[in-house]
Structures are given as structure tokens and as C-alpha cells.
Amino acid sequence: MLKLLVSLVSLFLVAALVLALRQQRMDLTSQSAKLFIRINQRRHLLWGQQIKISTATNPIAISRTLKARAAAEAAQRAAATMPALIAVPVQGTAGGN
């Protein structure tokens, strides 16, 4: 009788340990899946940033940016050096005669 009781108790202990190990495996699987999803999200974010960087730094885009900047600076210099236009009344248009 004692052997049967020891066998049953040890069987229940082994069953509980197996269930605990199975639960631990499921938890680890869930955590690894969540981590994998986060890694993929970061990878997609990184790819997007790499695309933005490559489109902004390709030679054609750089030359366009430099040309636009040079044109804007030239327009600012021209506006700063131009005298202000003064409105001068033209003769004959005034209503005094």
C-alpha cells in the first residue's frame, strides 16, 4: 500500500513538473514571437529611414538642392541691392489742369 501511495505521489509530481515545463515553453514561445514582431517593426522603420536618406543624398537630389539654394541666395542678394522703387507722379495725370 505504501508503494502505491509513493508511486501516485511521484506520478502527480512528475505530471505537475511536465505541465510547468510545458507552460514555461509556451510563455517563452509567446515572448519570442512578440520580440520577433518588434524586431520586424524596427527593421521596417529602418528601411524607411534608409530610403529617405538615399533619396535625399543621391547625386541628382543634391544637385537640385544646391541649384535651388543658389537661386534663392541670388534672389536675396538681388533684392538687397536693388533700390526701393519710389512712386513718381507722371505729368498730365494729376487732376489740377
pLDDT tens, position by position, for the chain (97 residues)?
999 999 999 999 999 999 999 999 999 999 999 999 999 999 999 999 999 998 888 888 888 888 999 999 988 888 777 665 555 566 765 555 4
Cα separation, 17 vs 23, whole angstroms:
10
Break the chain into its structural domains and give their ranges. 14-77
The per-residue pLDDT for 74 is: 87
Q: What is the pTM of this model?
A: 0.52
Question: Rounded to the nearest 5 degrees, what angle is found at the Cα of 56, between the Cα atoms of 51 and 58?
Answer: 95
**Which DSSP string do the residues of 54-86 spell out, in sequence order?**
HHHHSHHHHHHHHHHHHHHHHHHHHHHHSPPP-
The per-residue pLDDT for 86 is: 57
Residue carrying the nine cell digits 501511495? 5
- Write the CB contacts of 61 (distance below 8 Å, at least 6 apart in sequence): 55
The per-residue pLDDT for 84 is: 56
The per-residue pLDDT for 93 is: 56
